Amino acid sequence: MKGTRLILGVLVSIVLIATTMGACKTTPAIDPGKTPFKIGMTNPVTGVAAEKGAPMAAANLDAIEYINNELGGVDGHKIEVLALDDGYDAAKAVTMVKRFIDEDYLFFTTASSGMMTAMMESANRDAFPGIVAFSAPNLTQPPQHIYGQTPDYGDDWTAFANYYMKNIWKGSGKPKMALHLLNNSTGAGAKKAAQAKAAELGIELVDIKEHAATTSSEIASLTEIKAKNIDVLYISSTPAPTAVIIKNAKELGMYPGITIASGHAGITKALVDLAGADVVEGVYGVYPTVQWGENVPGMAKMTEYVRKNHPQYEGNADYIVSWAQSLIAAEILRLALKNAGTDKLTPQIVEEQGFKKLKNYDVGGLHGPVTYTAGDNRLSKSVRVLQVQSGKIVPITGWIEAPLITYAK
Amino acid sequence: MDLPAGTRNYSYADDMTIFRTRTQKLMLVGLFIMLLAIPLWMNRTWLGLVNLMGITIIAATGLNILTGYCGQLSIGHAGFIAVGAYTSAVLTSRLEMPFLVGLLGGGVLAGLVGVIFGIPSLRVKGFYLAISTIAAFFIIIWVITHWDSVTGGFMGMSVPLASIGPIVFKSEESQFFLIMGITVLCIFFAKNLARTRVGRAFVAIRDNDLAAEVMGINLFRYKLTAFFIGCFMAGIAGSLRAHYTGFLSYEFFTLTDSILFIGIIIIGGLGTTLGPILGVVFIKLLDHLLTHWLVPLIEGKHILPAGFASGITPMVFGLAIILFLILEPRGIAHRWQLFKASYRLWPFSY
């Protein structure tokens, strides 16, 4: 009896101590005495790119809310964000980056390669660092002060082409590839990479077709491609035209029978919804982030915030990119604070001690590891190859690094 | 109504003089001093906005000559700006010519392209002409995106900084003097053009082209002249924009911009020199204040959810244009004229 009481007493004590410790455990908090770190963010919340910009802006701010409220900012320093809507208007974007520079922001982030193209001249001139979510080679080559968060559309092609040659192509000689490209930088990036690297990888480029974002039929262009007996069709476009092309390819009896792959702008849930699961079954794609619902450490918190603040964006792939962008921004500030040994940060200190010290930051597993490599301003160089299987887009590889392609000027 | 009280014309030269009284001349000098002093007190954000306003004023003034004075509706103005921008960029970066050659080359080529697309204006007018200028816009953008070897295609191209001799316009302040200098010249040109034989011919064509032709005005010549001048100014604005931003992409020139230019000259006042200036200042300031201050304030205070507040900007824009069309279809310039007239007679207005 005495022994039982002792055991019970010990157990009760353990429970009480544990409860007290749990109660005493505090989440890190912002220290009001510490200088806040100011960063500027622009997204095309309105205008022609609002479909992507609105969820990206929401994700940026949700992640900053999470960092400030639950992680105590950056070692107690609050991250103060000025979030502006560039409206996908180059003139507006230029005034915005100038404002960030004038008002002592430490760096800035933006969503699209188009707007960063407008802003980069001012930013580079003032050595003011910036991160762009969706990058293009002209932004990071030659490397100056603009950093690409994810690999560009050319990197997509290279990563897939490497995978195709190693894992899919079983024939003899060179496989024949055709490209079907959206008539903007999404298509142009893939075209440049394919033209630069196809021969080296042992691929014969037999045809390059372009389409508009509003295309409703590509029967004519695909008929020409079909006549060339291709082995693989690579599409670098947005989901709606990609769906049209794949549906048309199926109608013409080209697919299945050839391999079809899509760059990261096209391989989203919207593609499966638009084309139909049976049509796109087996289609390959490459993407720089994980998919919603995957078992990675950063998924739970992101899902919690999207459900709390913007439930309409749950399932939106762009949300993941910008959530990750804000996490990377916080990591850059943390590194700068740690390495500089002072909290009097400047854009130059942040770039040297923050951006350039990034090494294998895993972003909660949400996208490929983030590392700065001298001479290569792409922060994440990795994509995963995906495939539509039973109506779902599933990863079939781990992170594949896309090598840096140096384009002719 | 334009003359101050007690001022009369005693000669043709008096009638032609723009600035008649000592007060007017002093105000002009004061305006120039204020303009020159702007870089001394304005920070770079606002100076950047003023520079963009200057570039937009040049483009809007060109459109005002074409549409406001000559009555030829153009919805392809952004395309002509793109021609000037890319011509200047190609001349200065690929052919390594001086900036001034690029600037004038951009203006001239945009003017010539404008003349080509203006030829249908001899046969069609109104909505039909508007559609043909939209076609011009799409053709221009198509050429830009597909002439990779020259324009960089979809990837765009870098543009060097503007320079004249040893002076490189690198800082915002130096660019201000370049842009404002050219803006003042363009406004001066437009003001004087309106008072010349050519300007009067434009107005006659706008008011009734049949009557103008009967009066002996050569429609072919004057309509195409209006296209050349309007698009020349668009080209100049494009060149300045290219050297200001340092990079060109076809995405910088949108059909929405073309429509906004129409909105600017309607809000400012069609067929007046002051109209494009007031229209640009109004639109750009409104846009800047909404985008940079009001929306972040609303979103920061969580008054409205992120994204929703941003939608306020286009809504307010649309509302402003509708209100101007209903309440003051002759634009801010006309309101300014009314104010001046009542001010001159105050307190004895009747």
**What are the pLDDT digits (tens) for B253-263?**
989 889 989 99
Find the residue in A nearest to B49 (Cα): A95
pLDDT, averaged across chain B: 89
Instruction: Decide if pLDDT at A32 tops 70.
Output: yes
CA–CA min distance A209, chain B (Å): 13
| Residue of B53, B291, B297, B313 to mutate when probing chain A, most A C-beta within 10 A | B291
Task: Kindly state the average pLDDT of the residues B27-34.
Answer: 92
| Mean pLDDT, residues B37-61 | 92
Whether the link from the prior residue into A28 is cis, omega within 30° of 0, is: no
> Residue A130 belongs to what H/E stretch?
strand A130-132
Distance from CA of A208 to the nearest CA of B (A): 13
Residues of B in Cβ contact (< 8 Å) with A91: 52, 56, 241, 252
Tell me the mean pLDDT in the region A306-322.
91
Q: Does residue A137 surpass a pLDDT of 90? A: no
The one-letter amino acid at A255: Y
The predicted structure's pLDDT at residue A23: 47
What is Dmax (Cα atoms) for chain A? 91
Give chain A's mean pLDDT.
89
Query: Can you tell me the mean pLDDT for B312-327?
Result: 83
- Please check the confidence at residue A345 and state whether its pLDDT lies above 90: yes
Q: How confident is the model at residue B187 (pLDDT cuts 50, 70, 90)?
A: very high
Helix/strand/coil (H, E, C) string of chain B?
Answer: CCCCCCCCCCCHHHHHCCCCCHHHHHHHHHHHHHHHHHHHHCCHHHHHHHHHHHHHHHHHHHHHHHHHHCCCCCCCHHHHHHHHHHHHHHHHHHCCCCHHHHHHHHHHHHHHHHHHHHHHHHCCCCHHHHHHHHHHHHHHHHHHHHCHHHHCHHHCEECCCCEECCEECCCHHHHHHHHHHHHHHHHHHHHHHCCCHHHHHHHHHHHCHHHHHHCCCCHHHHHHHHHHHHHHHHHHHHHHHHHHHCEECHHHCCHHHHHHHHHHHHHHCCCCCHHHHHHHHHHHHHHHHHHHHHHHHHHHCCCCCCCCHHHHHHHHHHHHHHHHHHHCCCHHHHHHHHHHHHHHHCCCCC
Q: Which residues in chain A have Cβ-Cβ distances shorter than 8 Å to B246? A: 120-122, 125
Average pLDDT, integer, range A8-16: 63
Q: Which domains does chain B have, with CATH numbers?
A: 42-345 (1.10.3470)
- With a threshold of 0.95, does the pTM exceed it? no
For a pLDDT cut of 70, what percent of chain B falls above it?
95
Higher-confidence residue: B107 or A343?
B107
Q: Could A183 and B145 be called an inter-chain contact, meaning their C-beta atoms sit closer than 8 Å?
A: yes
Determine the residue of chain B that is closest to A50 in CA distance.
B307
Percent of chain B with pLDDT over 90: 55
Residues A275-297: pLDDT tens digits?
A: 999 999 999 999 999 989 999 99
Please tell me which of the candidates A61, A95, A118 has its beta carbon nearest to residue B247.
A118
pLDDT of res. A409: 54
Q: Tell me how close the Cα of B32 comes to any Cα of chain A, in angstroms.
A: 24
Nearest CA in chain A to B306: A58
| Percent of chain A residues topping a pLDDT of 70 | 93
Yes or no, beta carbons of B49 and A125 under 8 Å apart: no
| For A99, nearest residue in chain B (alpha carbons) | B45
Most B-contacting residue of A38, A85, A86, A146 (CB-CB within 10 A), to test interface: A85
Picking from B245, B299, B314, the nearest residue to A118 by CB comes out as B245
B295 in contact with chain A, both atoms CB, cutoff 8 A: yes
For residue A112, what pLDDT is reported?
Answer: 86
Chain B's closest residue to A184, CA to CA, is B154
Work out the average pLDDT over B175-189.
95
Domains in chain A and their CATH numbers?
37-151+293-378 (3.40.50.2300), 154-287+386-401 (3.40.50.2300)
Average confidence (pLDDT) over B285-308? 76
What pLDDT is stored for residue B292 in this prediction?
A: 83
Nearest chain B alpha carbon to A135:
B155
Give the pLDDT band (50/70/90) at residue A27.
low
First-to-final CA distance of chain B: 14
DSSP string, A147-170: EESS--HHHHHHHHHHHIIIII--
Kind and range of the H or E run holding A223? helix A219-226
Q: What is the ipTM of this complex?
A: 0.76
Nearest to A95 among B45, B247, B310 (CB): B45
**pLDDT tens column, A53-84:** 889 999 999 999 999 999 999 999 999 999 99
> Model confidence over A236-266: pLDDT tens digits?
988 889 999 999 999 999 999 999 999 988 8
pLDDT band at B14 (very low <50, low <70, confident <90, very high): confident
Q: Which of A199-213, A365-379, B14-28, B294-308 has the lowest mean pLDDT?
A: B294-308
In tens, the pLDDT along B136-178 reads 999 999 999 889 889 988 878 889 999 998 999 988 899 999 9
Spell out which residues of chain B touch residue A117, defining contact as CB-CB under 8 Å.
156, 247, 249, 251
Determine, for residues A85 and B249 on separate chains, whether the beta-carbon distance falls below 8 Å. no
Cβ distance A57 to B306 less than 8 Å, yes or no, reads: yes
- Which tens digit of pLDDT belongs to each residue from B233-257? 999 999 999 999 888 888 889 898 8
What pLDDT, on the 0 to 100 scale, is given for residue B275? 94
Mean pLDDT on B108-112: 97
Give yes or no for residue A223 having a pLDDT over 70.
yes
Inter-chain touch B245–A83, beta carbons under 8 Å: no
The answer on pLDDT for A405 being more than 80 is no
- Beta bridge pairs of residue A107: A39
The pLDDT assigned to B289 comes to 87
pLDDT in tens, A366-386: 988 999 999 899 999 889 999
The pLDDT of residue B306: 58
